[in-house]
């Protein structure tokens, strides 16, 4: 739900040519709120299940182990997510995502050609979407500056 919200804001809402464009930091903050709410409801639903589907003590141990990272990481992330660090954090995210995909492929996919083709096609689709979004964002910024200044803008 949180990624769907972010994708909608970045790829649909911001490209409709509205006067209000939601910046990346605000989209990230809103997706964190959506993630928090869905996590709380998911945890409540999971804890209230009984019978064969009941939560084991191993799940609680894993939950407690992860909670430390969330409690410390969320405030640290909000401190680091500033305009000054935004570009560096994006590049770090891209490197970590590529590394995660590579390690997953080596460990789980190995030599399954079909799976690698699906992943490659998905990556091409994502890169195409990012390219279209960046070009549209560039055109919107240029058009907005032209309207504000009343002059033709070259190279924003």
The mean pLDDT value of the chain amounts to 82
Coil, helix or strand at residue 54: coil
pLDDT per residue as tens digits for the range 43-92? 888 888 888 878 888 888 888 888 888 888 877 877 777 778 878 888 88
- Kindly provide the b/e burial profile for residues 85-99, where b requires at least 16 CB atoms within 10 angstroms of the residue's own CB: eeeeeeeeeeeeeee
- What pLDDT shows up at residue 124? 94
Which one, of 70, 81, 69, 64, lies nearest residue 29 by Cα?
Answer: 81
* 127 vs 11, residue with greater confidence: 127
pLDDT per residue as tens digits for the range 92-124? 888 888 899 889 889 999 889 999 999 999 999
């Amino acid at each position: 739900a949180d990624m769907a919200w972010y994708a909608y804001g970045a790829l649909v809402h911001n490209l409709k040519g509205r006067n209000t464009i939601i910046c990346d930091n605000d989209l990230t903050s809103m997706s964190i709120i959506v993630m928090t709410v869905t996590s709380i409801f998911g945890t409540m639903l999971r804890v209230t299940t009984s019978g064969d589907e009941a939560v084991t003590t191993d799940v609680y141990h894993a939950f407690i182990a992860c909670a430390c990272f969330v409690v410390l990481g969320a405030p640290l992330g909000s401190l680091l997510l500033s305009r000054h660090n935004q570009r560096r954090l994006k590049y770090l995210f891209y490197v970590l995502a590529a590394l995660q995909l590579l390690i997953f492929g080596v460990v789980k996919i190995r030599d399954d050609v079909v799976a690698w083709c699906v992943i490659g096609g998905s990556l091409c689709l994502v890169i195409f979407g990012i390219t279209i979004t960046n070009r549209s964002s560039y055109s919107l910024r240029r058009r907005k500056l032209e309207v504000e200044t009343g002059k033709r803008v070259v190279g924003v």
